[in-house]
Structure 1
Amino acid sequence: MSRLFATQPGDDGLPGPERRLAVLALILGTLMAVVDTTMVNIALPSMAADLGVSASRIVWVTNLFQVVCAAFLLVFAALSELVSRRRLYATGVALFTLASLGSALAPNLEILLFFRALQGLGAAATLSIGPSLYRSIFPSRLLGSALGLSALVVAGGYAAGPTLGGLVLSVASWPWLFALHVPLGVCASWLAWRALPREAGRRDGFDWRGALCSIAMLAGLFLGLDGIGHGAPTWQVLAWLGLSLLSAVLFLQRQQRARHPLLPLSLFGERRFTLAVSASGLAFVGQGLAFVALSFLYQQEMGFTPLETAWMFTPWPLAIMVVGPLAGRLADRVNPSLLASTGLVLLLLGLAALAGLDAEAGVMDSLWRTALCGFGFGLFQPPNNREMMASVPHARSARASGVMSTTRTVGQSLGVALVGAFLAAGAPVQMTLWVGAGACVLSLAASLGRVSPAGRAQREARHAQPLRASSDPD
């Protein structure tokens, strides 16, 4: 870990000592957003009872947060170039913190949902540009290691969320789940304002029409996929997906004409970036699908309790926490595409092994398969993220970061929707896991398409020029 904060001659990014506070700001901001996603889920029954609402209404405490967060990822990635990433990140953390306090004090569901939407906005601001900030903080030679640290933080947050939520609920009521964010958020916001790199924002133009189309496109897609996963009426699902498709067409047309497009389509002219995005989205389809399918497999077919099921998932994020930083460090030394492809092979083998489980399988039979998936995903994600971030010019790293976050969110949502669709059609759970394995096959094909090392170092050197320093004294 100490090598992340050591300075060598010629390093770009922040000087070694200044990296520590900047990284701490990113870790705290990311952890709050990620932990919230999994921590609040287990409190939904308690919230429904205390607020006197039905289960079908209380799920919007989770759904609204996710919809708003997903819808604004691309918007905030583009906005960061106008106002600077430092200002946007610090403001996002502050908004998330204030909204957490409002959620903790909410007297009814309507007010709680209002503050959850604000929390989603704050989370979108931080998650959309987090990876690009790692690129600005650390020198290019440590980019893989830095993104490995990011993978460790995200995996640790997802793993710790349910446990932390359970511990809090065992001694206090659900509002304390939100109140926990307040002191952490104050600290993270102050650190972000003080320690993140200063840079000049662009002084002209923002694609507001493109932003509106993007919000409608992603919100419609997320609500449509969520409807499939939760058995919503067909007309409702089709309406949301139709809105998403129409908005996507308008969005693409707008991006071709806009002076400052929300998402420069030229990003996808870089083959490595396009293949890395494709591999990432398909891998997250497999992971999102597996997480939901295994819940049904463990409880309905193998007879585990919900608490036992939660423990059965633990090897997956724990393996990512162990392997992710190592994979990121290796990606700075060897071909990251080859590392990512190797990880996908392990993930594919793990999903195929899980699909072969039967109702009589023992605990250890399940755990090693789940751990294999986690090792594979941990080996895949940091090198693949490094490819995404290093394959575009430094000045466009915020946009690449927004694409990365959006791809992850849409991929996981599509995986969940596929499970709901297959189970609604009466398919066995094992079949859905085979579908996840199929998504990994496609992801592996995309990843192998950019394994060739020819010209990689030269392209990364060409894209490594940082944004010009700001003379703004703030």
Structure 2
Amino acid sequence: MSKSPLAVDAAAPVDGLPVPRRYWSVLAIWMAMAMSVLDGAIANVALPTIARELQASAAASIWIVNAYQLAITVCLLPLAALGEKLGYRRVYIAGVAVFTLGSLACALSHTLEGLTAARILQGLGAAGIMSINSALVRFTYPQRMLGRGIGLNAVVISISAAIGPTVASAILARASWEWLFAVNVPIGAAAIALAVWALPRTEPSHRPFDWISALLNGLAFGLLILGLENLAREGLGAGLLKIAGAAIAAVLLVRRELDRAAPLVPFDLLRIPIFGLSIATSIVSFAAQMLAYTALPFYFQEVLGRSAVATGLLMTPWPLAVALSAPLAGRLADRYPAGLLGGVGLAVFAGGLGLLSTLHPGASDLEIGWRMVVCGLGFGFFQSPNNRAIVSAAPLSRSGAAGGMLATARLLGQTFGALATGVFFHFAGPRATADALLAGCAVAAVAAGVSLLRLRTPRLALGA
């Protein structure tokens, strides 16, 4: 009797998994990613309710969100390196398990301190999911379908981000805030069972894990983000010391890692022109996206007089448009250069941001909505080809490092964009939102130029 494709126990073939195992593997990847993305959006919406019920101040309750994001950012590259050492499947399944346990701990928390600690545990699990996600997609799909797979991944992420506020509102309308986290437990258990059954098996590298580099990486990224947040909220004195500490840790990390064959921070991959340019494009474009994401809700509510519910609905066309354009761009990325597709997408994205900056106080929902759609279509058309270029530019043995760097670039760009918005609100006064959008437009235009530069680099990998 022949074995079922789902019972295959050997390492995954170089050119993807067979059908139907490929579909089950993709479902396991999507379930975990959707949980981690939804959880970030849900916590943001529910923050006032949680703060009120835990009798915490607004400033203190921000750590419910910050602890999760900080844990993810600090752990992404170390867990990607651990995935290369132990096998991507093992680290991914462990990440889903830790995320699920963290969700249960959140649901059982009755104090701000306990909830913050549980959110750190959740962030550690989410880092295991996000750092390995792209590597698993690469081993799940054949090379000729990699762009399509990455495009569909972007659809899941976009839809999860779009429905997050609605899911949070629906749960809070029927149950207490603890259920926002408790719903993850059965979903996480199902995702673990499916992942054990279907995810591709890869050969571990057997390289020793560099704990010192992992510690320096955590200090560099952690102190940088904390310092920048302090700088934006409290002024120069509060943040400069942490930023100086981050700089020292970064220098020590570079000196330790720069000449290694397979460093934790993938300097070997950043030397590949197409990889380095794609990472730079990703950071800049996500900074532009976050400039708009953080500035627009204030404009909709404070200038246009929309309610919180209406604001959520007005923000929704953007991620839905990403979900429409990302699969098409992913399919095209299997045939055309990412530099060209990304440049076109970012040019459209820049145009959309420029159009948003022209909104007037009497703007209708339709005038806002179609501009948001333009932004989403452009960003989605850029994102899939760019992610494919990053993943495919790395050797198969360094797929984990490429995926970890991709996720790190996204989070760094979002952090810089959010902090830049704070600067505009502090200094620009009534024109803060328009100026932030114009800055985002300029940044996206620069990113489009950087993307087009990739057409002049050697195509070291298919689709670059």
Residue 291, structure 1, aligned to residue 293, structure 2 = yes
Task: Between 270-279 and 85-94, report the one with greater CA deviation.
Answer: 270-279
Aligned partner of 1:214 in structure 2 is: 217
Residue 367, structure 1, aligned to residue 369, structure 2 = yes
Aligned partner of 2:10 in structure 1 is: none
TM-score normalised by length of structure 1: 0.92
* Amino acid across the alignment from 2:436: T
Deviation at 1:417, TM superposition (A): 0.2
* Amino acid across the alignment from 1:215: G
* Amino acid across the alignment from 1:325: P
Aligned partner of 1:443 in structure 2 is: 447
Question: Could you tell me whether the CA contact under 8 Å between 2:266 and 2:405 is conserved in 1?
Answer: no
Deviation at 1:455, TM superposition (A): 5.7
Aligned partner of 1:223 in structure 2 is: 226
Residue by residue over 1:172-201, the C-alpha shift from the partner in whole angstroms, topping out at 9 and shown as x without a partner, is 000000001000100111211221111221
* Cα separation, 2, equivalents of 1:263 and 1:193: 28
* Cα separation, 1, equivalents of 2:34 and 2:210: 30
Question: Could you tell me whether the CA contact under 8 Å between 2:30 and 2:156 is conserved in 1?
Answer: yes
2:304 to 302, 305, 324: 302
Where do residues 35-434 of structure 1 align in structure 2 (5 Å cutoff)?
35-229=38-232, 231-256=233-258, 258=260, 260-427=262-429, 428=431, 429-434=433-438
* Amino acid across the alignment from 2:327: P
Question: Could you tell me whether the CA contact under 8 Å between 2:341 and 2:385 is conserved in 1?
Answer: yes
Question: Could you tell me whether the CA contact under 8 Å between 2:388 and 2:463 is conserved in 1?
Answer: no
Deviation at 1:278, TM superposition (A): 0.9
TM-score normalised by length of structure 2: 0.94
Aligned partner of 2:9 in structure 1 is: none
Residue by residue over 1:353-386, the C-alpha shift from the partner in whole angstroms, topping out at 9 and shown as x without a partner, is 1111121222211111111000000100000111
Residue by residue over 1:139-171, the C-alpha shift from the partner in whole angstroms, topping out at 9 and shown as x without a partner, is 100010000011001101110111000000000
Secondary structure at the aligned position of 2:265 is classed as coil
Query: Where does structure 2 lack aligned partners over 5 or more consecutive residues?
Result: 1-12
* Cα separation, 2, equivalents of 1:109 and 1:296: 27
* Cα separation, 1, equivalents of 2:332 and 2:451: 17
Deviation at 1:248, TM superposition (A): 1.3
* Amino acid across the alignment from 1:184: I
* Amino acid across the alignment from 1:285: A
* Cα separation, 2, equivalents of 1:132 and 1:76: 12
Deviation at 1:387, TM superposition (A): 0.8
Deviation at 1:462, TM superposition (A): 12
Task: Between 239-248 and 74-83, report the one with greater CA deviation.
Answer: 239-248
Question: Could you tell me whether the CA contact under 8 Å between 2:338 and 2:463 is conserved in 1?
Answer: no
Residue 31, structure 1, aligned to residue 34, structure 2 = yes
Residue by residue over 1:234-259, the C-alpha shift from the partner in whole angstroms, topping out at 9 and shown as x without a partner, is 21222222222222111111112556
* Cα separation, 2, equivalents of 1:225 and 1:408: 17
Query: Where does structure 1 lack aligned partners over 5 or more consecutive residues?
Result: 1-9, 464-474
Secondary structure at the aligned position of 1:206 is classed as coil
Cα root mean square deviation, aligned: 1.7
Deviation at 1:334, TM superposition (A): 2.1
